[in-house]
Amino acid sequence: MDEQLTAEPARARRPSGRDAKRASRAARAAASIPYITRSIPVFEVLGEEGLATLEHNADTILEEIGIDFRDDPEALEIWKAAGADVNGERVHFARGMCRELVQRSAPREFTQHARNPARSVRIGGKHTVFAPAYGSPFVRNLDEGRRYARIEDFRNFVKLAYMSNSLHHSGGTICEPVDLPVNKRHLDMVYSHLKYSDKAFMGSVTAPDRAADSVALANIVFGPELDDPLTGRPKTTIINLINVNSPMTYDATMLGAAKVYARANQATIITPFILAGAMSPVTVAGTVAQTLAEALAGMAFVQLVNPGAPTFGTPEPALVLYTMAALARRLGVPFRSGGSLCASKIPDAQAAFESANTLLPTCLAGVNFVLHTAGWLEGGLAMGYEKFVMDVDQAGMMHTLLAGIDLSPNGQAIDAMREVGPGKHFLGCAHTQANFENAFYRSPLADNNSYEQWEAEGSPDMTKRANALWKKMLAEYVEPPMDAGVDEALLEYIAKRKAAAPDSNV
């Protein structure tokens, strides 16, 4: 029986005292937990009536307006066979058709396996997984300013993510290694994730054969135990970002990659790419309905290609985010969104305000997979070294928030108040001594010293302290162990594939 289909529903119950205690202990011990399991409720902005209206509107879009599936005759055949109304490349769907396809077979939650089993992540339900930012052509640091990213930067960020306890995932195209040819750089990226980290990672989506390479490389590492005895299906070892050409259009590149991954039982995140007012109406309710319609069509397509293959949906501004998360729960699929997003070019106060105003709603909304948790600058154009460790620090705080409130007798602390009483202080009392160590999240970057001490240290701002931290981390990095035969097989596969075609930048 499929564990993925029988997993408990995503609906949050009120956490019990025991849950809270366990979670808070985990968060504190948290040297390293593989992923977060929330102990606080989700925040919802709309009630039943509002959510039902938006679902109705998504069905109206799918039925009346339809979705284009471009330059992929096989995709149109698949839809025709499923009973959709196909006119040229435009596909119209009967009300409820996409929803039913998704709910029939898409897992509510699933495990993405990491090469270190202790670091495998659960995607969906009450779980939250933090991953680095994705897709920047530039990097920025305090020493060099902004420049094009190179494969060495890519490796650095894989190492930093590996060392960051509050990131649970290695991410995907953390930055574009523009010093390598476009048609081959995916091999070096996937290799870096597999070699320099043991956390779960994301594959290439820029062409179907690059998706196939990603699967092949992962299979070399996971080879001996490729099937998951719990699900009776191939293990899901790669998550992949499938962009919609919003509005309401899928193109052949993304459809090709989605088919490769779905057939290998690898997970697809269907990601409407929407800037409200450009790719969608300029209102929240309009944007949400369109996003849902686009994601439904993509997820339903994945289920037609391989029923049961993990797939889930996405987006961003806080009100959209709260609402989409609620709609994903109603649909019964995991939800990807948010992160530490900002438009600022540098890791200044603007970057921090904007990032916090995305990351906190991300966590309160109950997002399951948080791409772009760390490093994001300039709307995704640049990956910041200082921003990366600053964001990781914030992700650590979110662990404490999501662990909720300890209502054990020790947490209630009535005896401590009896011991101390009015007008005294709690600094030396037994309860404080016993709990102080783990009571607060300790930021490695926030300066909470006196003004005088801070001044004596040269009045550094947070960016300066972050600069010192990432350098220290890279200096202390130690590679996770990898079987020499596996490494050899990976390098051999890569060498063969690189030799098979000339370098190209398309």
Site for a second copy in 19-78 (CB under 8 A): 40-41, 43-47, 49-50, 53, 57, 60-61, 64-68, 70
Q: Is 72 left (phi over 0), alpha (psi -120 to 50) or beta?
A: beta
Report if residue 427 touches a second copy, rule: CB under 8 A.
yes
- Report the C-alpha gap between 51 and 44 in whole angstroms: 10
Nearer to a second copy, 267 or 284 (CB): 284
Q: How many CB atoms lie within 10 A of CB 317?
A: 15
Q: At its nearest, how many Å lie between a second copy and the CB of residue 128?
A: 16
Residue owning tokens 């801070």: 454
Using the minimum distance from each CB to a second copy, give the nearer residue, 188 or 447: 447
- 445 forms part of the interface with a second copy (CB under 8 A): yes
**Which residue number, 226 or 349, has a Cβ lying nearer to a second copy?**
349
Does the protein bind a second copy through residue 442 (CB under 8 A)?
Answer: no
CA 141 to chain centre: 23
Are 395 and 359 in contact by the 8 Å Cβ rule? The answer is yes
Please say whether the beta carbons of 142 and 386 come within 8 A: yes
Smallest gap from residue 165 Cβ to a second copy (A): 18
Stretch that binds a second copy, among 170-178, 194-202, 253-261, 360-368 (CB under 8 A): 360-368
Q: Does 469 bind a second copy (CB under 8 A)?
A: no
Residue 494 CB, nearest approach to a second copy (Å): 34
Q: Contacting a second copy (CB under 8 A), which of 25, 90, 330, 498? A: 90
Cα–Cα distance for residue pair 326/189, rounded to 1 Å: 34
Q: Where are the beta strands (DSSP E) in 158-304?
A: 201-202, 227-228, 233-234, 238-244, 249-250, 267-272
Within 122-161, the residues that bind a second copy by CB under 8 A are 146
Q: Smallest distance, Å, CB 90 to a second copy?
A: 7
Q: Does 418 bind a second copy (CB under 8 A)?
A: yes
Residue 372, φ and ψ in degrees, nearest 5: 65, 30
Residue 32 or residue 350: which is nearer to a second copy going by CB? 350
- Smallest distance, a second copy to C-beta of residue 100, A: 22
Contacts of residue 186, defined as CB under 8 A and 6 or more positions apart, other chains included, come to: 203, 204, 206, 210, 213, 214
* Residues 445, 382, 127: CA angle, nearest 5 degrees: 60
Residues 364-393 that bind a second copy (CB under 8 A): 364, 378, 381, 390
> In the range 290-349, which residues lie near a second copy by CB under 8 A?
290, 318-319, 323, 343-349
Nearer to a second copy, 319 or 474 (CB): 319
CB of 291 to a second copy, least distance (A): 11
Contact (CB, 8 A) for 272 and 290: yes
Examine residue 14 and tell whether it contacts a second copy (CB under 8 A). Answer: yes
Determine if residue 353 is left, alpha or beta; phi over 0 gives left, psi from -120 to 50 gives alpha, anything else beta. Answer: alpha
| Binding residues for a second copy, total number by CB under 8 A | 102
